[in-house]
Amino acid sequence: KQEVTQIPAALSVPEGENLVLNCSFTDSAIYNLQWFRQDPGKGLTSLLLIQSSQREQTSGRLNASLDKSSGRSTLYIAASQPGDSATYLCALHGGATNKLIFGTGTLLAVQP
């Protein structure tokens, strides 16, 4: 059974700092991996999607990498801003069913 873990569970950084969020998974037979952001009391917003054949994806200040062999993905946020404060979730697509298996989440607080 696929298990997805995110470390750290919570992170507080000063504004402007670069940071890395980690996502680990136990079964490397994944279809793709997606990073989401969730604001308090809100739904999830998709940030980046990495296909299993790709190594990384970039969108603005965000860069996500994928290393299937080691069962890891990282989300890099450059020059963090208070508006980046949210919970970040990684999720794996296990195959053609399009089912998502979510990680435990990292709660990020960027201090002004």
Binding residues for other proteins, rule: CB under 8 A, are 31-32, 34, 36, 41-46, 49, 89, 91, 93, 97-105
**Strands 19-25, 44-51: pairing kind:** unpaired
How many angstroms separate the CA atoms of 6 and 27, rounded? Answer: 15
Nearer to other proteins by C-beta: 19 or 44? Answer: 44
Quote the least distance from Cβ 50 to other proteins, whole Å: 10
Q: How far apart are CA 47 and CA 62, in angstroms?
A: 8
**Radius of gyration of the chain from Cα atoms?**
13
Q: Is the Cβ of residue 71 or residue 103 nearer to other proteins in the bound state? A: 103
Shortest separation between residue 26's beta carbon and other proteins, angstroms: 16
CA distance 64 to 92: 13
**CB of 16 or CB of 95, closer to other proteins:** 95
